Amino acid sequence: MTSGFSERAYRMISCQRELFDIPQDVAYFNCAYTAPLLHSAAAAGKAALKSKAEPWTITSGHFFATMDENRRLFAELIGCAPASIAIIPAVSYGVALAAKNLPVEKGQAILLLQDQFPSHVYSWRLKTTHEDAVLKTVRRPSDNDWTAAVIDAIDDQTAIAALPNCHWTDGTLLDLVKIGARCRQVGAALVVDGTQSLGAMPFSVAAVQPDFLITTAHKWLLGPYSFGFCYAAPGRQHGVPLEENWLNRAGSENFARLVDYRNEYQPGARRYDMGAASNFILAPIAAAALSQLLDWGVDNIADTLRETTVRIADQAAELGFQVPADGVRAPHMLGMSIPLGLPEGLLPNLAREKVFVSVRGNAIRIAPHLYNTEKDLERLFSALARSLH
């Protein structure tokens, strides 16, 4: 498989557009919305569909092999043991799982960011209601330094800090290593939504030490929708699953004895697997995408995308946009706003020129990937200039 560099010897990756099915006249800067599939992932999906059309080719071993491969690949991506990974369908599922298993006492606080993505909010709102606890929201700081604001907000009454690695609307950054250390200092749990960072930013479980880390596959992991991953720290692997299913029970590999009902769960985080986690159609797509990310190297992806977003930020400033400073911005995405607000019809106007971005809050969210070309950048800013005048 072409990767643009050999043995990860170079930090920068050449344009990888040939690995995707993106027409030359499309400028897609919307990976934070959903990613296009790699050719290899699409081929894996087609092969999976063919296999399901011929179910006599599916053995009992396939039920576990599909999960094990994805567990192994994702564990390599974040630096942990495969036994610490559960297969989940969505971030909301993983957040609900974490909320079910993390204690909160009356009067304690669960910490969130202002305008956090709703899937990482609703379960915490419900938990504070049930436990007579407090939902504490960190307001957006004027200098976009979320790290300092979050650390200042964590105190002895903080039970859980439920946070992303970067804000989903504009890519403003949180230093989770520093925040994780502060959480441990006061005895607070850390639950991370990695949806808008994993696969495009390096992440080390050993450095951050989250209690739970949750993501979906269809954005920066370049995978399918309705498929995701949940890391559970070793000390959190003895809790109660969100659902009871046959796969997450001990001994389920022996199909002949499934009616010998067991009270014991599968070891490690496998007890938290969703029902039908084998997912013969989606799992091969996710595995193919993870394999390519590991081949590229997430460090290399981040370095390459940082160069692209720095160029975008510089050109945006020339058009009068305001962009968060480089030091408080993730390498792979950024939000661009203008003082008088975005013009009406901006997204349809850009789409007519086959330039695709998102608007989140009061900012245009630009989320490039390795498939973007020099021509894409020219199309983006030419279309933006026309839309503003």
Residue listed under structure tokens 């309705």: 226
Residue 361: per-residue pLDDT: 86
Q: Give tens-digit pLDDT for 249-276.
A: 999 999 999 999 999 999 999 999 999 9
Residue 1: per-residue pLDDT: 29
Confidence of residue 352 (pLDDT cuts 50, 70, 90): very high
Residue 8: per-residue pLDDT: 42
Alpha helices (H) in the chain, listed in sequence order:
39-53, 60-78, 91-101, 122-131, 146-153, 176-186, 205-208, 282-296, 298-318, 346-352, 374-388
When pLDDT is averaged across residues 319-336 and rounded to a whole number, the result is 95
Q: What letter represents residue 173's amino acid?
A: L
Integer Cα distance of 283 and 332 in angstroms = 25
Q: Give tens-digit pLDDT for 186-219.
A: 999 999 999 999 999 999 999 999 999 999 999 9
Domains with residue ranges and CATH for the chain = 17-30+297-388 (3.90.1150.10), 49-294 (3.40.640.10)
pTM of structure: 0.95
Tell me what percent of the residues of the chain surpass a pLDDT of 70: 97
- Residues 350-367 as b/e (b if ≥16 CB within 10 A, e otherwise) read beebebbbbbbeebbbbb
- The answer to whether the CB of 70 falls within 8 A of the CB of 286 is yes
Quick check: 243 pLDDT over 50?
A: yes
- Nearest CA to 166 out of 118, 131, 123, 117 is that of 117
Q: Give tens-digit pLDDT for 62-110.
A: 899 999 999 999 999 999 999 999 999 999 999 999 999 999 999 999 9
CB-count burial class (<10 Å; 0-12, 13-18, 19+) for 311: middle
| Helix, coil or strand: residue 27 | strand
The CA-based diameter of the chain, rounded to the nearest angstrom, is 71
Residue 158: per-residue pLDDT: 98
Residue 362: per-residue pLDDT: 87
Q: Give tens-digit pLDDT for 25-57.
A: 999 999 999 999 999 999 999 999 999 999 999
Integer Cα distance of 143 and 377 in angstroms = 27
DSSP for 146-158, please give it. HHHHHHHH--TTE
